[in-house]
Structure 1
Amino acid sequence: MLSDYFYLYQFIDEEAFKIMLNSIIIIISLLILISQNILLLNEESLILGCFITFIWLLYNKTSKNIQIELNSQSRMIENSIQESFNKILISLNSELNVYKAFGFLPHDFVSLKIYFQTLNSIVSQKLINFSIQYYQSIFRKKLVFTQKLEGQISKLLALLIIKKLEGIITLKKFYLSYFELLSLFCIYKISMREYLNSI
C-alpha cells in the first residue's frame, strides 16, 4: 500500500501530495480518537469538523486566486504611483524652468511694492491737505452765507419792531384821544414793558 502512494506521488505535484498525506494523517488520528472515546462523536463535533474542513478547503482552493488578484492590484497601484511620481517630477521641472525664466520677478515686485508705498504716502498727505482746504472753503462760504442771513434777519426784525411800534403809537393816540382813563395808562405801560422784554 505504501508503494501505491509513492507511485501516485510520481503523477501529482508535490503540494497536492502533501495535502493528501496530511488529510490521511488527520483522518486516521480522528478515527483513533473516536474509537478510544477520547473524542465524542455528536452533532456539535460534526458541525465543528465540517466548519473547519470547509474553512480549510476554502483557504486551500482560493488562496492562490486571492494572491494572484492581490499581486495584480499591487502592480496596478505601483504603476499608478510610479506614473503620478513621474507627473510630479515633470511638473516640478516645469516650475523650476519657469522660476529660472522669470527669476527677476520677485525683485521687480519688491521694487513695485516700494514705489506704491511711497506713492500711497504722498497721495495720502496731499489728500489730507486737499480735504482741509476743501472743507475750509466750504466753511467760509457757509460762514459768509450765515453772516448775510444774520444781517438780513436783523434788518427784518428791526422793520417788524418799527411796524409794531408804529401800530402801538397809533393805538395809544387813539386811546388817549377818545378814552381818558388813568388806569388804562398804567396797564398800557406795563404791557408795553412786557412786550419789549419778550422781544
Structure 2
Amino acid sequence: MRVKICGITCVEDALLAVDAGADALGLVFYPSSPRNVSLDQAAEIARAVSPFVVLTGLFVDAHPQQLEQVLEQVPLNLLQFHGDETAPYCRQFRRPYIKALRMKPELDPVEAMAAYPDARGILLDAYRKGVPGGTGDTFDWQRVPQNSGRPIILAGGLNPDNVAQAILSAGPDAVDVSGGVEAAPGKKDARKVRAFIRAARSAAATQNLHKEFEQ
C-alpha cells in the first residue's frame, strides 16, 4: 500500500511526512488552492527531501508554458492532473503522470480510465461541482473498479479514522490525503499524518492476509 501526502507547503511538513513513512509528496501548483506553493517554496522542498520519495506536482488545466516553467525549476518525478486535461495534453511534458477522475454520479470510471491509456495510475476523487479537489468529501467506495488492470489511487475525504475502511472496501493500490491530516489548510498535523499511515498499512496487511486465506 503506497501513501501520498498531498498539499505539502513547507520543508518541515515534507520531512515529517517522509519520516512517518510517506511514499510520495504532493505539491499543489493551483493558485486557487489554499495549499498552492510558489516556485521558490517547491524548489526548497525538493532540495530537502530524499531522492527516493516520489515528488508529485498537482496541476489543474494549467497553461503548458506555466507547467514547463515549473519543470525547469522543480525536479518533479510525477505529474498529477486534476482538471479536464486530455491524454495528449498530459503526455506532452514527457513525464510520468497520473490522472484524477472526479466520481460524478453518472461517471463510468472504467470508460473514463480508458481515455488515458498511458497514465501511470488513475486517482479517483470525490465530486463537488466547481471544485477540482480537496473538498474533504468522500464517495461510494464500492464504485471503485476491481481488477481493472490499472493502478488506482483512492482520494477524497480520507482521514486516520476512515482510511482502513476505505482500503478494505475499495482495494486501491495507493491512498492520497491532504486535508484529512491537517491542523489547518496547508499545515500538516504530525499526529494525524502518522496515524493515517499506520492505519493504511495495517489495513493493507489485513487485506493481504484475507487474500492469502482465500487462495
What is the TM-score when the length of structure 1 is the normalising length? 0.15
Task: State which structure, 1 or 2, has the greater radius of gyration over its C-alpha atoms.
Answer: 1
Specify which structure has the higher proportion of strand.
Answer: 2
RCO comparison, higher one (Cα < 8 Å, 6+): 2
Specify which structure has the higher proportion of helix.
Answer: 1
What is the TM-score when the length of structure 2 is the normalising length? 0.14
